[in-house]
Chain A
Amino acid sequence: MGNDRLLNFAIKYGFLILLAGMVVYFGLAAPGFASPRSAVFVLQSVAITGILALGVTCTLVVGGFDLSIGAVATSALMLSAYAMVVLEMSAGVAIGLCLLMGAAVGLVNGLLIVKFRVPDLLATLGMMFLLIGLQRIPTQGNSIATGMALPDGSTAEGVFSSTFLWLGRHRLDLVIDNLVPLPVVIFLLIALGIWLFLGFTRQGRLMYAIGSNERAAGLVGTPVNRYKIAAYMISGVMASIGGMLLAARLGRGDIASGTNLLLDSVAAALIGFAVLGAARPNAFGTATGALFVGILLQGLTMMNAPYYTQDFVKGVVLVAALVFTFYLSSRRGTGRS
């Protein structure tokens, strides 16, 4: 009995306790870790992956998966740069185009999965390849920056609009001047929105029902296909927002950036399963998972761990979180019945 309770407690709060312990440890061991600037730096480093991870969480909720988010994000990065620098469009039009592109990719993913019955991993993997290739075609594989030579011999005259760059670079005052970068605010707002949507709305509840038993959800009259497509569209739009924020931060259409986006965001969403013993995809867990990775890397960096150990550390955290979720929760499940 006592053992059961301990196990339940560990499953529920273990991950958060670990997170708190880590913060305390780094705060004591690494001078400068426990400062507002450092905290903001962590948030900034996870904002974009966090936004992508929240999108992929929605597809995980309906029992799917979206491997194309990284490619959607880099496509949005290139598209926004191309729209402003080469086509000389305004920031508003560029943003609109990117959001539309994300939604369209999500729609195609969803249709491939529900209408053409392509398994989700394969459909979105195919889409990932397609987009990675597609985003290179207009610029013949080059990055986009003002003054670059275009295929027709002219040079690109446009510039990133200042409004657009403001999105990625502006910092709000909070206690200290110029503290909180706008992408962090956007990340937190999106996290709040997805958390409310998945946890507290009728539509969110139906999406969980679909992920848990699709047939049963359909037999109570849920339009299952529409919800699944919607999940992929949310994922696509989130990824395009992430990509635009990255473009706004970099200020150029860098073809090589965003390589780690997919793995990092998927890891955050999966780590999120372990938070509060949810054992299922959830927005709060995803955001916490992203923070966990961010804090760990920031702490290790400040303690002079070499950068090339970062992926290894992420991998260890992910595997540990998965064991935590699936092994411990299954034991709890059998203990009950």
Chain B
Amino acid sequence: MTKTACRIRGLEKSFGPNHVLRGIDLDLRAGEVTVLMGANGAGKSTLVKVLCGYHRRDAGTIELGGAPFDPADAADAIAKGVVTVHQNIDDGVIPDLDVATNLTLDRLTEPGAPLFVRDSKLRAEARRVAEGMGLRMDVRSRVGDLDVADRQMIAIARAMARAPEVLILDEPTSSLSAAEAERLFALIDRLRAQGVAILYISHRMSDIRRVADRIVCMRDGAISGIFAEAPLDYEGAVSAMLGHRMTDVDITPRSGGAPVVELGGLRLLPSSAPIDLAAHDGEIVAVTGLLGSGKTRMAEILFGLARPAAGEIRLDGRPYAPRTPREAVARGVFLSPKDRGSNAVIPGFDIADNMTLPFLSAFSRASFLRAGQQRRATQAMIERIGIVCQGGGDSILTLSGGNQQKVMIGRWLIEPARLLLLDEPFQGVDIGARRDIGRHIRATAEGRATIVFVSEIDEALEIADRIVVLHENAVAGEHVNRNIDLAAMVSQVSGPARPAAQTGAQDGQ
């Protein structure tokens, strides 16, 4: 029986009214890779941040090697033996310094570290660490000159220099090519053999198949499934992660009128299979898939933020190849992007200015804004979608997440669209607002085609007439939203049982 390195019981964490972790029980065992899966907002990153000392927990206990573990801050967590390699590699290394300094950086912050740095001693120490990890680069080279995988290795090697009991890897392959990822997996195998308990967070099925000893799924701040018996039930894990409890939204799928947008032989990446797809007038198509499946890439191509590798797009029968969002908007293609905080909300503006931002020219005469018109249009939209606020003059930041999202979507409903793209419209949105948004999108669907990009199957089922599943930048399945065979769809989401050749490139998610 393997020994439990880390025991988590009843862990809870809230941010204001937002109950993010609702009683997590989890054991991490020495010499085992535990894969943590969960959709956006499931609470994975909060759990990681509690473990690595960024957040204090509200309730529950964590034991590390039998002793209570209550890190005061990130440095304390590392000192006690929980080391995290974060998703963004450049957060983990300092590109302007050499390998030796990077590998020994933590030593420099230890209390009692000597005032002067002796390079020769530092390098000897660094060489020892590097050899222990099987790294063969010159410790004097600048980290910024190394490739991504090497930088990742260095971040991990630095973490390992502390001989941790628990190593947390947050989406470590997200910017690695297949060959680079294989080097990382070899390193993980080595660490597992040394008896380190590894918590591996990923969405990539091919990675998970390669490294997982055990899969833990999270959903809505709770553990929704643990799969420990070999052979691991990967499809079960995906459905536990995405969940598909029957929704109480009744949808009568419409097939729509004439095609509005047609993708012909569109390749998202040079190496991916061509996509043929059409969205029709009045129809709502949901495009679903795991992180990295190509959803965001497709949205970006349609909105002029990225170029397809091959193939063509037709809008109302005419060729459509936007080079900028401006050109897309001019053709009536609107995108409500994901991550509204960084991509959509103008924090300095009130609701009315946020709402009318894309169409200010319609609200101005000879460049001068007509505040009255702006206010009236905003008020009308506030009533239509049911935004809870005092009025259009409120600062956008006073609204809750769901209401902010309603403003961000309402912004694109002011003028009629030909093609409306909604990328993760339900991200960070409570269930009530989600229903309101879904209902409103369906009610206004006539006269345009709508494509909704969602990673949760629930959300797709709630809004779409037709669901398209993407996997590895290609269409893996297509379903009309009526009596869908969920098992089949889930297996399309998680991909074929044989790991497909992994593409190294990313779609930017």
Taking Cβ atoms with an 8 Å cutoff, the residues of A that contact B are 196, 200-203, 205-206, 208-209, 211-213, 215-223, 280, 333, 336-337
Contact = CB atoms under 8 A, between A and B. Distances in A.
A74 B398 CA distance: 46
Interface in B259-307: 303
B345 A213 contact: yes
A202 B361 contact: yes
Nearest to B325: A221
Nearest to A208: B348
B326 A209 contact: no
A171 to B, nearest CB: 33
Contacts of B358: 220-221
Interface string B309-348: 0000000000000001110111000010100001111111
B364 interface: yes
B361 A216 contact: no
Contacts of B348: 208, 211-213, 280
A201 B325 contact: no
Nearest to A218: B325
A337 B397 contact: yes
A196 B363 CA distance: 16
Contacts of B344: 216, 219
Interface in B397-412: 397-398, 411
Given A200-B369, A201-B367, A206-B360, A215 B342 contact: yes
Contact of A200 (B330, B337, B368): B368
B343 A216 contact: yes
A337 B325 CA distance: 33
B398 A337 contact: yes
A46 to B, nearest CB: 28
Contacts of B335: 219
Nearest to B16: A337
Contacts of A220: 325, 329, 357-358, 411
Residue of A201, A203, A211, A221 most packed against chain B (CB within 10 A): A221
A203 to B, nearest CB: 6
Nearest to B361: A202
A337 B400 CA distance: 10
Interface of B: 303, 324-326, 328-330, 335, 337, 342-349, 353, 357-358, 360-361, 363-364, 367-369, 395, 397-398, 411
A200 B329 CA distance: 23
A205 B353 contact: yes
Contacts of B411: 220
A209 B346 contact: yes
Given A202-B367, A217-B346, 17 more contacts: A200-B368, A201-B369, A202-B361, A206-B357, A209-B346, A209-B357, A211-B348, A213-B345, A215-B342, A216-B345, A216-B346, A217-B357, A219-B303, A219-B343, A220-B358, A220-B411, A222-B326
Contact of B369 (A202, A216, A219, A337): A202
A201 B368 contact: yes
A222 to B, nearest CB: 8
A221 B328 contact: yes
A108 to B, nearest CB: 23
A223 B335 CA distance: 16
Contacts of A333: 397
Contacts of A209: 346, 349, 353, 357
A331 to B, nearest CB: 15
16 contacts: A200-B369, A201-B368, A202-B360, A202-B363, A202-B364, A202-B367, A202-B369, A205-B360, A212-B348, A213-B346, A213-B348, A216-B346, A218-B325, A219-B337, A220-B325, A333-B397
Contacts of B361: 202
Contacts of B369: 200-202, 205
A59 B125 CA distance: 49
Contacts of B329: 220-221
A174 to B, nearest CB: 29
A219 B325 contact: yes
Contacts of B325: 218-221
A219 B299 CA distance: 12
A206 B367 CA distance: 11
A179 B349 CA distance: 42
Nearest to B356: A205
A201 B397 CA distance: 23
B466 to A, nearest CB: 26
Nearest to A211: B348
A219 B369 CA distance: 21
B360 A213 contact: no
B343 A215 contact: yes
Interface centre among A202, A220, A337 (most CB of B within 10 A): A220
Considering residues A200, A205, A336, which has the most beta carbons from chain B within 10 angstroms of its beta carbon? Answer: A205
Nearest to B342: A215
A227 to B, nearest CB: 12
A196 B366 CA distance: 13
B373 to A, nearest CB: 12
Nearest to B395: A336
A208 B360 CA distance: 13
A333 B397 CA distance: 9
Contacts of A218: 325
A229 to B, nearest CB: 15
Nearest to A223: B326
A212 B329 CA distance: 21
Contacts of B324: 221, 223
B343 to A, nearest CB: 6
The 6 closest A-B pairs by CB, nearest first: A212-B348, A221-B329, A220-B358, A202-B360, A221-B326, A202-B364
Contacts of B303: 219
A217 B345 CA distance: 9
A205 B356 CA distance: 11
A332 to B, nearest CB: 11
Nearest to B411: A220
A310 B397 CA distance: 41
B283 to A, nearest CB: 24
Contacts of A222: 326
Contacts of B326: 221-223
B11 to A, nearest CB: 26
A205 B353 CA distance: 8
Contacts of B337: 219
Contacts of A223: 324, 326
A337 B337 CA distance: 25
Contacts of A280: 348
Nearest to A210: B346
Contacts of A336: 395, 398
